[in-house]
A and B are shown apart, each in its own frame.
Chain A
Amino acid sequence: MSQYVAVFASLNQTALLKRALYREGIFADMLRTPHCLASTGCSFALSCDGTELVALEAQCQRLAIAHGGIFERDAVSGVYRPRGERPL
């Protein structure tokens, strides 16, 4: 199962989304955004699997929180690439 990371501007937004998803029965892990994805410095992210992305994006819309990108983590290399982008 592919793992995805959705990046958010602040920890407050991330915590709000995490709790909203938890109420839907989805446990998304909160983490500090990996440096390679943190374009403006410190930020936080939610990690979830592919089946949970729809719910995550729906909550983003409901709570009017814009994400700073969703990235797929390569299970072998650990490299992140934008969702939907094919590996080289």
Chain B
Amino acid sequence: MIYLDNAATSWPKAPGVVRAVVNVLKSAAGNPGRTSHRSALDAAELIQECRENLAALIGVGNPLRICFTANTTEALNLAIKGVLKPGDHAICSSMEHNSVWRPLVALESSGVELSIAQANSHGVLVRAAVERLIRGNTRLIVLTHASNVNGAIQPVAEVGELARSRGIPFLVDAAQSAGSIPIDVKAMKIDLLAFPGHKGLLGPQGTGGLYVSEHVDLRPLMEGGTGSHSLEAAQPAEFPDRLESGTLNLPGIAGLNCSVQYLLKKGVATVARHEARLTRRLIEGLKCVDGVTVYGPGAEIDRAPAVSFNLCEWDAMAVAEQLESRAGIACRPGWHCAGLAHRTLGTAEQGTVRLSPGPFTRAAEIDAAIETVAGLASNG
């Protein structure tokens, strides 16, 4: 198999991840926060170690401000629904994933107002598009760091500067950037960062998290057992307990801890350079194939490793089936859970075929994908 679906979930995982998950399952790890036997306390330390490693990776000073979630969608819902109240106004871009768009639209029925900042036809937003939408009651700006459809990188630091200068909490969806593009929440003035554990961070599915800065007061999405203040009816105020009710995914977090350690050692910048080279190679190669349209900024502009294209009027699903049957290429066709983004790119009718390399993808695999698309274009 040539795996070019890393934007959906990364594969293979970082070295050692499988062993870390299995070790936890085999070693009768206890439930952290619920008791005091050795294995429960060891589990708590493992979780804390993972928080510390994540904090080091994204520039967070206090690891307790990182809360674990099951995925980015949960983290985004937690942030959006935890900040906004009836009468508030929110801004997001026209390149958002449905996990941003849908919760915001759902809140409109309870009196939250939403404005959408339009990106250009390549899927790139400019700061001014956000600035002109700010109102007196704007309480949240949400921006994807990189599009899951075409990898277009958004001006996160510029919008972060704008949001901070107006005192508006700034939420970034790092589903396609965490582990693939360096992130520094302080330098980028990010107040809330939602990230998956299983994509660029190379950990298991079922892991993710939300960073919450001290500037933001967030209501929990769920209340319940935290292993703290058990006699009190109110949800604890301390982070991360405030947002982490119920038993955490310890096997997943053990795997994530291992993969984040790998990334800290290798360096996200190194991964980013490798993926940028492959992405450029892919875009340049696809553009040379007659009948192929590649969506997004040119190959000379950095983007996250996600490339969307269409072949003439071919159905995207049919292209994906041919790529798999002819060369064992795993990719993703369709609308990528991003209706807004497809409208922006003009691909709402046809969808696209997305190829997404990862840190372990080789140049020869990119070339094989280009050759297979070229073969399809010439032979049908």
> Chain A interface (Cβ within 8 Å of chain B)?
9-16, 18-19, 30-32, 40-44, 63-64
Contacts and interface: CB of A to CB of B under 8 A. Distances in A.
Given A10-B228, A10-B238, A43-B229, 8 more contacts: A10-B236, A11-B227, A12-B44, A12-B47, A12-B239, A15-B48, A16-B52, A41-B232
B88 to A, nearest CB: 29
A13 B44 CA distance: 10
A19 B232 contact: no
Interface string B205-248: 00000000000000000000011111110001011110000000
Contacts of B63: 16
A12 B251 CA distance: 18
B47 A42 contact: no
15 contacts: A10-B236, A10-B241, A11-B44, A11-B228, A12-B47, A12-B238, A13-B238, A14-B44, A16-B63, A18-B45, A19-B48, A19-B49, A32-B36, A40-B230, A42-B230
Contacts of B41: 30
Nearest to B48: A15
A40 B229 contact: yes
Given A11-B33, A12-B241, A16-B63, A41 B230 contact: yes
Q: Which of B45, B49, B228, B240 has the most CB of A within 10 A?
A: B228
A55 B133 CA distance: 50
A22 to B, nearest CB: 9
Interface string B50-63: 01100000000011
Given A11-B33, A13-B64, A32-B35, A41 B229 contact: yes
B357 to A, nearest CB: 36
A9 B238 contact: yes
Nearest to B52: A19
Interface string B160-185: 00000000000000000000000000
Contacts of B32: 11
A40 B41 CA distance: 20
Interface string B6-45: 0000000000000000000000000011111000010011
Contacts of A63: 62, 64
A74 B268 CA distance: 51
B75 to A, nearest CB: 17
Contacts of A18: 45
B260 to A, nearest CB: 15
B33 to A, nearest CB: 4
A32 B37 CA distance: 9
Q: Max chain B CB contacts within 10 Å: which of A9, A15, A42, A43? A: A15
B36 A31 contact: yes
Contact of A15 (B45, B229, B232, B238): B45
Contact of B231 (A10, A12, A40): A40
A15 B227 contact: no
A63 B214 CA distance: 13
A63 B33 CA distance: 20
A14 B45 CA distance: 9
Contacts of B228: 9-11, 41-44
Contacts of B238: 9-10, 12-13
A38 B239 CA distance: 19
Nearest to B244: A12
Contacts of A19: 45, 48-49, 52
Closest 7 CB pairs of A and B: A41-B230, A41-B231, A32-B36, A15-B48, A10-B228, A42-B230, A11-B33
B281 to A, nearest CB: 42
Contacts of A32: 35-36
Nearest to B239: A12
A31 to B, nearest CB: 6
A10 B45 contact: no
A41 B35 CA distance: 12
A67 to B, nearest CB: 12
A64 B44 contact: no
A30 B44 contact: yes
Contacts of B241: 9-10, 12
Nearest to B231: A41
A11 B236 CA distance: 12
Contacts of A11: 32-33, 44, 227-228
